[in-house]
Amino acid sequence: MEVKPSDNSQPRTPGDLDRTFAIDGRIEISERGTANSITSDQDGKLILASQIGDRFRLSRYLVDGAKDDSFGETTRNFEDGDQSAPMRVLLQEDGKILVIGDSLKAGVMRPAVTRFNSSGSPDLVFGRRVITTGPEDATPGRIRYKFVDGCLQKGQKTLIAASYELQSGRPLSRLFCLQADGEPDKLFGEGRGFIDIKFHEHDSYACHVQIQRNGSIIVAGSWRYKGEPQRTRTVARYTAEGILDNTFGLAGYADVVVPGEKGKKSQVEGLLWPDIVAGVAIQNDDKIILAGSTYDPDGLQNGLLARLESDGRIDEHFNKGNPLVMPDDNVSLHSLAIQPDSKIVVVGRSNIEGTTREFYERVSENGEIESFRSDYSFGDCTDVTIQPGGRVVIPGSSGATTIGPRFPRVSGRLGA
């Protein structure tokens, strides 16, 4: 990719497109699809997982957004003949790359993972792995909402969280642990290699997972009492072996409640759509940041951030101990990242009468919105990473509507 020189005569403020990145601040891909997940290595190189048609593509870009021609870009499926969607790209300490996503084949949705060498070539020892130990009566969601996510555990193990929709319409959330070679970890979940996630012993939607420094597993999602529209955001903590940690929050769970919130009835009984938790992140001090959404009295969706102490208590130093509501134009958050200075960048999209626009914002360490957003381009933002130099890099897609043609796009924005 040829990088176009920029005009540096204009004032540069945080949130603006960094015109020194790629071509005038953006990487544009001409094939239909979406740029789903991105991560940055210690040198600032960017590893991108995109969905192109029914396949996923793994690419690498240099610090300035130019294509890394030394990397073997590849487009493939998790399983031959399936529809593959990448949801998370992870970089192991040894430089190998994991791609986690979902595989839809013969009407069955399953979590999947594969690994690549640092050069981009497939890791043939690890191979392509589709997890088949899900519930037998699982069906694809009526709307293809986020189904799976994952993170790395110590010892190069992989945690994969998935939320299935059952024939009954109820959800079933399952957390899998894989060993470094991709085989199920029989030390996890009492020999099964997985556990079922049930917040407060209720059917739950939970496909957001991260770990704290001591290896404790943080899982986030939502649940509701049967027959009630109101749902509750919940964070749970488990030991590295998959046992609920009763010292966390209240008997293992921490609920995040918005005062005066009015629930919006889900289109399906199983509360898979729309969900109210978009992601979870762990600070260096093990505090937990939860991103999600809430609904105002007019039924509009607002972005939401909350921070918990490492033990599940509400952090009184963030927005005076209250969840931070981010009112805008019907916002859906999709992901978040934490800068080295503890500022939080959240990304997603806003929707005005069927027209989608990129949404990205930054929040200070104590919970103040910084007005980081500088333009209102059509499209959405799916993920975010912070390069070592401070640039904020946001993948997503172009397109004015959610049902029209979309093309992968990655933006580089000034972070300082």
Residue pair 289/336 in contact by the 8 Å Cβ criterion: yes
Beta-ladder partners of 162 = 148, 174
Q: 207 or 58, which is more confident?
A: 58
pLDDT value for 14: 95
pLDDT value for 268: 42
Residue 30 makes CB contacts below 8 A (sequence gap 6+) with 407
pLDDT band of 272, cuts 50, 70, 90: very low
| CA 293 from centroid of its chain's CA atoms | 14
| CA 413 from centroid of its chain's CA atoms | 19
Of 215-219, 305-309, 328-332, the least confident: 328-332
Q: What residues does each domain of the chain span?
A: 26-413
Residue 239 CB: number of other CB atoms within 10 A?
A: 13
Residue pair 126/163 in contact by the 8 Å Cβ criterion: no
Nearest to 332 by CA among 250, 377, 274: 274
Query: Token match 């969601």: residue?
Result: 141
Mean pLDDT (the chain) is: 90
pLDDT band of 270, cuts 50, 70, 90: very low
The C-alpha atoms of residue 402 and residue 135 are separated, in whole angstroms, by 30
How large is the average pLDDT for residues 199-204?
A: 92
Tell me which DSSP letter residue 17 carries: B
Query: What are 138-180's pLDDT values in tens digits?
Result: 776 555 567 899 999 998 999 999 998 887 777 889 999 999 9
Query: What are 46-69's pLDDT values in tens digits?
Result: 999 999 999 999 999 999 999 999
Residue pair 149/209 in contact by the 8 Å Cβ criterion: yes
Whole-number percent of the chain with pLDDT over 90: 73
pLDDT band of 411, cuts 50, 70, 90: very high
Query: What are 376-398's pLDDT values in tens digits?
Result: 899 999 999 999 999 999 999 99
pLDDT value for 271: 43
Nearest to 197 by CA among 178, 171, 216, 215: 171
Residue pair 246/237 in contact by the 8 Å Cβ criterion: no
CB-side exposure of 185: number of CA atoms within 13 Å?
A: 22
In the structure encoding, which two tokens stand for residue 341, read together?
């200075």
pLDDT at 224 over 80: no
Host H or E run for residue 355: strand 355-363
In the structure encoding, which two tokens stand for residue 327, read together?
């009112």
Class level of CATH domain 26-413: mainly beta
Residue 142 CB: number of other CB atoms within 10 A?
A: 13
The C-alpha atoms of residue 373 and residue 357 are separated, in whole angstroms, by 11
Residue 155 CB: number of other CB atoms within 10 A?
A: 10
Query: What are 3-27's pLDDT values in tens digits?
Result: 344 444 455 799 999 999 999 999 9
**What is the edge-to-edge ordering of all strands in the sheet holding 83-91?**
83-91, 97-105, 108-116, 128-130
Show the DSSP H helices in 226-300 as ranges: none
Which of the given ranges, 168-172, 206-210, 245-249, has the highest pLDDT on average? Answer: 245-249
Query: Token match 């009295």: residue?
Result: 297
In the structure encoding, which two tokens stand for residue 267, read together?
């289109």
The C-alpha atoms of residue 48 and residue 53 are separated, in whole angstroms, by 16
pLDDT band of 228, cuts 50, 70, 90: low
Strands 194-197 and 157-166: unpaired
CA trace torsion 340, 42, 386, 212 (10° rounding): -60
Nearest to 71 by CA among 103, 46, 89, 100: 46
Query: What are 67-116's pLDDT values in tens digits?
Result: 999 999 999 999 999 999 999 999 999 999 999 999 999 888 899 999 99
The C-alpha atoms of residue 228 and residue 387 are separated, in whole angstroms, by 43
**What is the edge-to-edge ordering of all strands in the sheet holding 55-61?**
33-40, 46-52, 55-61, 74-76
Residue pair 72/119 in contact by the 8 Å Cβ criterion: yes
Rounded to the nearest 5 percent, the helix, strand and coil shares of the chain are 0, 45, 50
Strands 26-28 and 204-211: unpaired
Nearest to 102 by CA among 146, 60, 37: 146
